[in-house]
């Protein structure tokens, strides 16, 4: 059975600095029409930076949409959309947010943030061989760098203390990949 939906029409209802929102009419597999609100996002990267002692580097950052601090991996949007090399984006975000650079990078794939209404893909990396340079945050970015043992991060992911999707996904992928 073909389960695909086909766009019949699309109207942009909002276009901001980061996202674009459309209201689409989609033809369903049974021929009926349904409204679909779609958020288009340039995508992002998340980096699990792990040192030789299995210490991980996180950021504590206030997230305005949910009105609370979140402990999460260094991450950010792709500044040039899908055209930006995701590894360059990951290196930039790790450097900006933590002041770290890495000599070893492992691509872990991507996760879809919320595909029911948004096309955002978050590319995940493991960074090793860390050296400290200088943190250089964006002018509208305020965060604290936090370190903890990797096994404590896994514990906080599993007990629900850490709820950020990209952090949960990347942490569990690294745990399975490294067997830590």
Alpha carbon 150 to its chain centroid, in Å, reads: 19
Both ends of the chain: CA-CA distance in Å? 42
Residue with tokens 């992002």: 44
Lookup: tokens for 93: 């975000």
Which spans in the chain are helix H?
86-98, 150-158, 165-178
174: three-class secondary structure by DSSP: helix
* Catalytically active residues, by annotation: 139
d(CA 81, CA 1): 34
Measured CA to CA, the distance from residue 147 to residue 75 in angstroms comes to: 15
Residue 177 backbone dihedrals phi, psi, to 5 degrees? -60, -45
């Amino acid at each position: 059975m073909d389960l695909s939906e086909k766009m019949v029409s699309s109207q942009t209802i909002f276009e901001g600095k980061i996202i674009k929102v459309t209201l689409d009419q989609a033809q369903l597999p049974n021929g009926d029409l349904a409204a679909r609100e779609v958020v288009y996002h340039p995508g992002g990267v998340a980096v699990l930076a792990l040192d030789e002692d299995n210490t991980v580097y996180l950021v504590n950052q206030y997230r305005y949409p949910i009105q609370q601090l979140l402990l999460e991996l260094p991450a950010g949007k792709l500044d040039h959309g899908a055209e930006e090399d995701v590894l360059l984006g990951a290196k930039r975000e790790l450097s900006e947010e933590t002041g770290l650079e890495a000599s070893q990078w492992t691509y872990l794939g991507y996760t879809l943030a919320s595909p029911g209404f948004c096309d955002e893909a978050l590319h995940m990396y493991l960074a090793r061989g860390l050296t400290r340079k200088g943190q250089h945050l964006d002018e509208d970015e305020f965060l604290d760098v936090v370190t903890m043992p990797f096994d404590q991060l896994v514990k906080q992911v599993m007990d629900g203390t850490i709820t950020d999707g990209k952090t949960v996904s990347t942490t569990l992928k690294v745990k399975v990949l490294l067997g830590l």
